[in-house]
Structure 1
Amino acid sequence: MIFLRFAVRRLLEMAVTLLGASFVVFGAMYLAPGNAASFLLGGRSASPAALRAIENQYHLNDPFIVQYGRWLGNILHGDFGRSLQYRTDVSELLSSRLPTTLLLVGMALVVVIVLGLALGWIGAVRGGATDSGILVGTTFAIGTPSFVAAILLQGLFAVQLGWFPSSGSGSGDGFGRMLWHLALPAVALALYLVGLLARVTRAAMLEAMEGEHVTVARSRGVPERHIIGRHVFRNALGPVLTTAGLIVSTLLVCTVLVESAFSVGGIGQLLELSATTKDFPTVQAISLIIIAVFMTVNLLVDLLLPLVDPRISLGSRADA
């Protein structure tokens, strides 16, 4: 009952926050220089009558709150509007490009989780020169932005060595071909977060090793591998899981840079092109989707934390 009440409350908070975010997303585009009518004209001059006809067709001359209400109502019915640049429904653009981005983010997330947890575990358990080497490596990873990693990986492994394709997603050549095309972008996307997760995991495990329960377990002769797995790593999962929201949001945001560098053709590259050309409906739809995914991940983290860390009480959080 406490869990259900907490989940319902968090869902309501998420809905209110998402509503506020939608207002900001819709309004932010109209604060930028230029307007949609000038883009639709393609830079050509037009008579006042022609300009008014375009504004009437796209409801550009309606009051802001009316435009926002119409846009929000359409979104609730699954209609994201019509792209001003591609002259097609935004939902069709998203459906054709979203699978590529989801696969790219999924591959990068696997790299982050596997390498980040492994490096953090090894650094905390081994110590010494191994730990120092991991600290140096993770410092380099954290200090390398995604777009810099994309350029370096592309220049070395695609251009110089020719091991991987330098651009494209391979979406028309089968799933295996897509994995090959997206390998370098996934590594470029994951590099910074591998260093971050490794640092968080290492610090959390080192802190857990100093716990009284670990000392007691060792005094009782419990094998070290059981102590690390059951007592140290499990207690370190709380801080690790808390960073999940940051990891997912960073992956989604950095896809814009990485997809553009590799010409992947996902929603990240679409977002960049649409923002450049003032394609309001497309930018608003993608931005809202990214925000919704980020908030959903945070909700899942809040619900999973008590399962991995019994010290966290849903009851106390729900009543706070």
Structure 2
Amino acid sequence: MNFLRFGLRRLAEMALTLLAASFVIFGAMYLAPGSPADFLLSGRSASPAALEAVNRQYHLDEPFAVRYFRWLGQLLHGDFGRSITYRTDVSRLLADRLPSTLLLVAMALVLVVVVGLVLGRIAAVRGGAVDSTILVTTTLAVGTPSFVAAVLLQGLFAVRLHWFPAGGTGDGFVQMLWHLTLPAVALALYLIGMLARVTRSAMVEVLGQEHVTVALSRGVPRRKVMGRHVFRNALGTVLTTGGLIVSTLLVCTVLVESAFGVGGIGQLLELSITTKDFPTVQAISLTMVGLFMAVNLAVDLAHPLVDPRIALAPRRSPA
């Protein structure tokens, strides 16, 4: 019952957050200098009649509140509007480009979770020179921005060694995986370092707790203590970074997709901002907010499974 109540409450909060985000996203675009009409006219001087026709076609001559509620009503019916730049439905653009971005983010997320957790656990368990080496390596990874990693990986493995394609997405699922390998590594590098350090710190902290010391003193095998007591208890702390990891992946994918020429929504967002394509920018921004909230919900639901001491909802105190 607590699980159902918690889920319904979080869904209501997500709906309110999406509503607030939609207002901020819609309003922020119209606070930016310039207008879509400038792009449509390509800098040419236009007669007042031509300018009025463009503004009327895209409802730019209407009050802000009218435009916002019209857009909101279209969203409720699954209509994101029509792209000013590409002259097609934004929904079709998202359907064409979203799979590439989701696959790229999924590949990067797998790398972050697997490599980050393994490195963090090895550093905490081994200690000594192994710990120092991993700390130095992860420090370098954390200090390398995604776009710098993209340029370095592309120059070494694509241009010089010819091990991977320099860009694009290829044809078919297997080719897409091959083309997205380097972008996924560039996207994951910073977060691998961050997650490894968080995992190490959390495990070292648990290692110093009394119940771990008692278990080791009673002769419980060290491997069993590390797996059942230390690593599992540290996962609660690690899991709290899940939302930060996904949000960073979604933000950095704009830079990585542009560097590798991946035709995803990140590259589409950059081009749409440049051309003042309001409907496309608003749709992509709102989609990213929705994905981020969905991941946060999944993290909150997974927390009690990792740590049973965490309740989904606060218990009422007895009368």
1:219 maps to 217
2:253 maps to 255
2:227 maps to 229
2:9 maps to 9
Residue 261 of structure 1: CA displacement? 0.4
1:113 maps to 113
Q: Aligned equivalents of 2:278 and 2:113: distance in 1?
A: 35
Q: Look up the equivalent residue of 2:45 and give its one-letter code.
A: S
Q: Aligned equivalents of 1:163 and 1:317: distance in 2?
A: 56
Root mean square deviation, CA, Å: 1.3
Q: Aligned equivalents of 1:90 and 1:42: distance in 2?
A: 21
Residue 101 of structure 1: CA displacement? 0.6
1:206 maps to 204
Q: Aligned equivalents of 1:104 and 1:7: distance in 2?
A: 29
Q: More displaced, 156-165 or 128-137? A: 156-165
1:130 maps to 130
Residue 240 of structure 1: CA displacement? 0.7
Q: Aligned equivalents of 1:73 and 1:216: distance in 2?
A: 61
Q: More displaced, 267-276 or 38-47? A: 38-47
Question: Secondary structure of the equivalent of 2:314?
Answer: helix
Residue 307 of structure 1: CA displacement? 1.5
Q: 1:175-229: per-residue Cα shift (whole Å, max 9, x none)?
A: 1111111111000000000000000100111111112221222122211111111
1:152 maps to 152
TM-score scaled to structure 2, two decimals? Answer: 0.97
Q: Aligned equivalents of 2:281 and 2:315: distance in 1?
A: 35
Q: 1:6-60: per-residue Cα shift (whole Å, max 9, x none)?
A: 2221211111111101100001010111001111112222111111111111111
1:103 maps to 103
TM-score scaled to structure 1, two decimals? Answer: 0.97
Report % sequence identity. 75
Residue 121 of structure 1: CA displacement? 0.4
Residue 242 of structure 1: CA displacement? 0.5
Q: Aligned equivalents of 2:183 and 2:315: distance in 1?
A: 39
Matched, 1:269 2:267: yes
Residue 236 of structure 1: CA displacement? 0.5
Question: What pairs with 1:157-306 in structure 2 (closer than 5 Å)?
Answer: 157-170=157-170, 173-306=171-304
Structure 1 gaps of 5+ residues are none
Q: 1:75-132: per-residue Cα shift (whole Å, max 9, x none)?
A: 1111000000000000111111111111111110111011000000000000000000
Q: Look up the equivalent residue of 2:230 and give its one-letter code.
A: V
Q: More displaced, 304-313 or 73-82? A: 304-313
Would the aligned equivalents of 1:6 and 1:318 in 2 still touch at CA under 8 Å? no
Residue 318 of structure 1: CA displacement? 9.3
Residue 3 of structure 1: CA displacement? 2.1
Q: Aligned equivalents of 2:310 and 2:254: distance in 1?
A: 36
Query: How many correspondences in the alignment?
Result: 317
Q: Aligned equivalents of 1:257 and 1:26: distance in 2?
A: 23
Q: Look up the equivalent residue of 1:264 and give its one-letter code.
A: V
Would the aligned equivalents of 1:234 and 1:308 in 2 still touch at CA under 8 Å? yes
Question: Secondary structure of the equivalent of 2:33?
Answer: coil
Q: Aligned equivalents of 1:8 and 1:99: distance in 2?
A: 29
Would the aligned equivalents of 1:5 and 1:318 in 2 still touch at CA under 8 Å? no
1:313 aligns with one of 305, 311, 314: 311
Change (3 A) 1:161 1:317: farther
Question: What pairs with 1:64-103 in structure 2 (closer than 5 Å)?
Answer: 64-103=64-103
Q: Look up the equivalent residue of 2:189 and give its one-letter code.
A: L
Question: Secondary structure of the equivalent of 2:15?
Answer: helix
Q: Aligned equivalents of 2:205 and 2:302: distance in 1?
A: 21
Residue 317 of structure 1: CA displacement? 7.9
Q: More displaced, 7-16 or 79-88? A: 7-16
Q: 1:241-278: per-residue Cα shift (whole Å, max 9, x none)?
A: 10000000000100000000000111000000000000
